[in-house]
Structure 1
């Protein structure tokens, strides 16, 4: 008998997608050369192929502040906002798309926030290397929905990913997810709601059809709303 679908999801995934779009302008190129090095997450290669050696995220910042993780930060509007408005929090952003990294650097250059570390890669290579219980919040906002059924296995949110989040988040830590694809929204709920480590923070429709006050709108989200797409916002707490 074959494995159950959710069990198959626990197997490792390969990153798919392009790494760069339009050529970078001079300002973006300068920021990539001059600002990015000081904000880069410093990782050592692990013993296995395509892996990193274990590391404690807090040590990347040299202080005892809480650490948040944003996965696939897109244009960086949300991450830059959180960094500026939460100076007592350290934020790690992982994004393989070069233009997105350049966009985040532009926002950070404008607001002056430096409590950020950036990693250009597939986050699924980074999650296993992080220290258990080292995160207090994780953001997974508007990931690629991979609409075709045969591509669902490429979706970032899998049972295996939730297992990593459960290991990394401290008790009471928060997982925030958002999507404007209703198929992906159902996918998220079908996997996160029954997961034993998480509790959905929703008691009515208003809890998933609007953002909390500390959750700014991104450029991608704004464009989707203009096209008639309705986002869903999910908040889960890590159980004790």
Structure 2
């Protein structure tokens, strides 16, 4: 197993405010076994961030998904879009193990996974190396004192914009209205990004399948907001 594989998140800068708390949920024996057995095939360590394409079968436009949860949407997209490469980043072991198991079972070869802090991995990637970045239903950190932990912030957008190809896309979704308003405002003010939907929210993209995260929000009475920004 790569030295930067499933434990890469242990080497983060201690002073940086992170957008996640690493709470290790229950991991099944099958998921734990997948982390060990399938990592050489599907895993991308932090040491490979400088040349992610080398970890795929062939070079292709790269779609990066940060915080894929259990991976159901990531797998769905990769299966239906074989002309692009998909890299999913997630810190929680059960989701990583589950996604690798399903990718193997369904023979998906344009999908790879990284288990580390997405910001740290993004920082190590080359400029203009990402075709599309997808961030769906990130932790909303609903308490005001925790807003500083939200992933979508001006400093993150500056980092991400430099990694997007010209014309590349940033697709966001959330079911928290105040976070949606925050995203719309900070993305709208970010140098190098333009709102593909004009001044407001975007229609639901065909590339976003229904997931249990979305259904959970809808069950709580939440609306779902999509944003679509382009690198200009």
How would you bin the TM-score normalised by the shorter chain? 0.7 to 0.9
Query: For 1:15 and 1:158, how far apart are their aligned partners in 2?
Result: 10
Runs of 4+ in 1 over 4 A off after TM superposition: none
- 2:222 matches 1:236: no
Alignment-derived partner of residue 14 in structure 1:
18
Aligned residues: 218
- Cα offset, 1:54, TM superposition: 6.4
The C-alpha deviation readout for 1:10-37, integer Å capped at 9, x for no partner, is x943354124112x22322332222233
Change in 2 beyond 3 A, CA 1:36/1:219? farther
Gaps of 5+ in 1: 1-10, 45-52
Q: TM-score, normalised by structure 1?
A: 0.83
- Cα offset, 1:72, TM superposition: 0.2
SS in 2 for 1:27: helix
Query: For 1:238 and 1:203, how far apart are their aligned partners in 2?
Result: 14
Alignment-derived partner of residue 101 in structure 1:
96
- 2:216 matches 1:223: yes
- Cα offset, 1:199, TM superposition: 1.0
- Cα offset, 1:102, TM superposition: 2.3
Alignment-derived partner of residue 80 in structure 2:
85
After superposing the two structures, state which structure 1 stretch, 98-107 or 127-136, moved more. Answer: 98-107
Alignment-derived partner of residue 29 in structure 1:
32
The C-alpha deviation readout for 1:164-219, integer Å capped at 9, x for no partner, is 111011111010001001111111011001112111121487x53x4222221121
Highest CA radius of gyration, 1 or 2? 1
Gaps of 5+ in 2: 1-14
The C-alpha deviation readout for 1:74-127, integer Å capped at 9, x for no partner, is 111111011111112111111001122123224323422121221111111111
Query: For 1:66 and 1:134, how far apart are their aligned partners in 2?
Result: 8
- 2:175 matches 1:180: yes
Alignment-derived partner of residue 213 in structure 1:
206
Q: TM-score, normalised by structure 2?
A: 0.86
Alignment-derived partner of residue 3 in structure 2:
none
SS in 1 for 2:197: coil
Query: For 1:114 and 1:139, how far apart are their aligned partners in 2?
Result: 19
Alignment-derived partner of residue 109 in structure 2:
114
